[in-house]
Structure 1
Amino acid sequence: MLDVVAWVHVADRRMLAVRARGRDLLYLPGGKREAGEGDWAALSREVREELAVELDRDSFRPLGVVHAPAHDQPAHTCVRMACFTAGFRGRIGPAGEIDECVYVGADERDLLAPAARAAFDLAASHGLVG
């Protein structure tokens, strides 16, 4: 089981997704915790590394947890992804291992990796995307 954190950022009812170098599907910004990191520390670090923006601690809120098959991992590997929303400072752009940032609508949901699709559905259940 991969245990990860993800930032759900929505603009104009479309969800931000990223393409990491060498990946065919889109993922949410975020990733694995380092030793001793909590959700806030891990997510703020990952988003800074991937998008070169600073998340706002005061607006950091849990959205929910999704489970899905892991993409590009050995068979039967699953992902537990804790999803959070937060405001940010800076200008979103690809950094580190990220090649592309895009906003995905309901008609492009199939471009997302399975866990990101589950997160999209979670955001939809909260009325954030459509």
Structure 2
Amino acid sequence: MVIDKVAWVRIEDGRVLCARSRGKDLYYLPGGKREPGESDVQTLVREVTEEVGVSLRAESVSPLGTFEAQADGRDPGVTVRMTCFTGDYTGRLAPRSEVEELAWLSYGDRHRVSTASQAVFDHLNEAGSLF
């Protein structure tokens, strides 16, 4: 089984924006699952607004890559496929909905994020974007 998601990768000063849901220990990249009929960009814009309270500028969205890993807390063999995008935003970042906390994490914080997010962290570190 594959859980298909989109995620927003926002990097500032060598750190990436991550979110932590209420009652959870691990952080993840903001984003989520598509609603019927939604494109990746529509899903990303909606999810980012719901989770971190900002408006993603759809015209600035660019693909970063697709990453796949074992889904945290799920049976072995259940994977997450995360299609990641970068993009600019307007507004003020603030936790919303199920999100309890936002954090700017560095590569040294890799152990604090979901397995799928770790794959993104590795990619960003190899590219010299995440310190």
- TM-score, structure 2 as length reference: 0.95
1:84: which partner in 2?
85
2:28: which partner in 1?
27
The aligned length equals: 130
Task: Could you tell me which runs of 5 or more consecutive residues in structure 2 were left unpaired when the two chains were aligned.
Answer: none
1:61: which partner in 2?
62
Counting only pairs closer than 5 Å after superposition, residues 1-130 of structure 1 correspond to structure 2 as 1-130=2-131
Cα RMSD after superposing both structures? 1.0
Q: How far is the alpha carbon of 1:75 from its aligned partner?
A: 2.7
In 1, Cα distance between the equivalents of 2:60 and 2:127?
17
- TM-score, structure 1 as length reference: 0.96
The share of aligned pairs that are identical, in percent, is: 42
Task: Could you tell me which runs of 5 or more consecutive residues in structure 1 were left unpaired when the two chains were aligned.
Answer: none
Q: Decide whether the 8 Å contact of 1:64 with 1:122 is kept in 2.
A: no
Off by >4 Å, runs of 4+ in structure 1:
none
Q: Decide whether the 8 Å contact of 1:59 with 1:87 is kept in 2.
A: yes
Q: How far is the alpha carbon of 1:123 from its aligned partner?
A: 2.0
Give the aligned residue type for 1:24. Answer: D
Give the aligned residue type for 2:71. Answer: A
Q: How far is the alpha carbon of 1:32 from its aligned partner?
A: 0.5
Q: How far is the alpha carbon of 1:126 from its aligned partner?
A: 3.0
Q: Decide whether the 8 Å contact of 1:67 with 1:78 is kept in 2.
A: yes
